[in-house]
Amino acid sequence: MDFSVNVSLAKARKLGTLFRKLQPKAEDFLDNRFFPSPKENPEDVVRFFFFITGIDHRTSPLGQSFEGLVEEEYFQGADLLWHLALRKYHENPAFFEPKQMAHITTKHVKEWLTVIQPVQVTIRNPSQRAELLRDCGRKLKGLYKSSVLNLLEQAENKLLGSPSSTSLGLLDHLARFKAYEDPARKKSYLLLKFLLRRRLWTLEDPENLRIPVDNHLIRIALRTGIVQVSPSFEQNLRDRRELTVADDVALRQVIADAFAEVASYAKHPILELDDFLWHFGRLCCKATSPICDTGCSTKCFVATDLLPLSCSLQCPLRDACTAFSEPRYRELQEPKLDTFYY
């Protein structure tokens, strides 16, 4: 079966030109509900980002949504994960030491990542997340003297090592960990975004940079038309049939190339573009009931914090999106796949 996918340069140019006008703003990752203060010990901070990014993937268990109240504030999905993680960090920073993570159990994860209001819900696959955290803890101990800063130093400010030497770049080092083994490197690029934005690392080979492609960016890429899939691939997506890991990785790698073209035309840093795209996919271009179907009636984070210009309660990408003018493309969603890659 032909599951080919290609970049549409014309669509990428159109979307990039639109983003050049929009110039969305970047996040600083300083929100004290989710992230440690810059005043904290740098090793503690990078460990926090390393471990939590490693388990930042599909959060909702089957039949439930991972959401709830924590001290009268409501959080959902990744926001709830990072908020509960920060609460644990404030209670006991030593919880995130590699020697502790190397022995974390499913019971620990369940106790840590469960909310009880308005109903009790535990994060999806706690045993799998415990396994990923143990692998990270053990390899940090064995390979990097229990220090994420040591790992970053060994990467020598490069994403990829030189073919002519034995040196490894950051992506090479991260690929040693099961949580970061994804060939499309979604979590690796997400961790990089945190490190760069918080000025915990510097980058000397930006030509190797790509966007962290997850389910939200897949939907946006398919619906805007910046990637085009074969008819059989499109039918697979419409029918919500299971996709192989290899086909999913291939799709996300082409999508990363497409967004690189978009960022080039937009003259906008690609990881800052990701800030907008991730929230836009989560809040506006949702899997079901996207705003081009339902209309928009509220000011969300995209409108109030990421767009310097008003979206006028309409889809800000409407002038460059295939699905806005051709409703059948609104049915396209991310592949059906059980994975911890994203």
DSSP string, 39-90: TS-HHHHHHHHHHHHHT-S--PPTTS-SEEEETTEEEETHHHHHHHHHHHHH
Give the model's pLDDT for residue 2. 87
Q: Is 2 exposed, middle or buried (0-12, 13-18, 19+ CB in 10 A)?
A: exposed
| CB within 8 Å of 45: residues ≥ 6 apart | 36, 38, 198, 200
Q: How far apart are alpha carbons 221 and 240 in whole angstroms? A: 17
The first and second tokens of residue 127, run together, are: 């045993």
Those residues of the chain that have pLDDT short of 70 are: none
* Amino acid found at 196: L
Give the model's pLDDT for residue 248. 97
Q: How far apart are alpha carbons 129 and 81 in whole angstroms? A: 12
Give ranges for CATH 1.10.1670 in the chain: 5-27+211-331
Query: What pLDDT digit, counting tens, does each position of 55-91 carry?
Result: 999 999 999 999 999 999 999 999 999 999 999 999 9
CA distances from 234 to 80, 126, 260 (A): 33, 32, 23
Give the model's pLDDT for residue 309. 80
CATH number of 5-27+211-331: 1.10.1670
Q: How far apart are alpha carbons 159 and 270 in whole angstroms? A: 15
Give the model's pLDDT for residue 166. 81
Q: How far apart are alpha carbons 237 and 69 in whole angstroms? A: 34
Query: What pLDDT digit, counting tens, does each position of 30-39 carry?
Result: 999 999 999 9
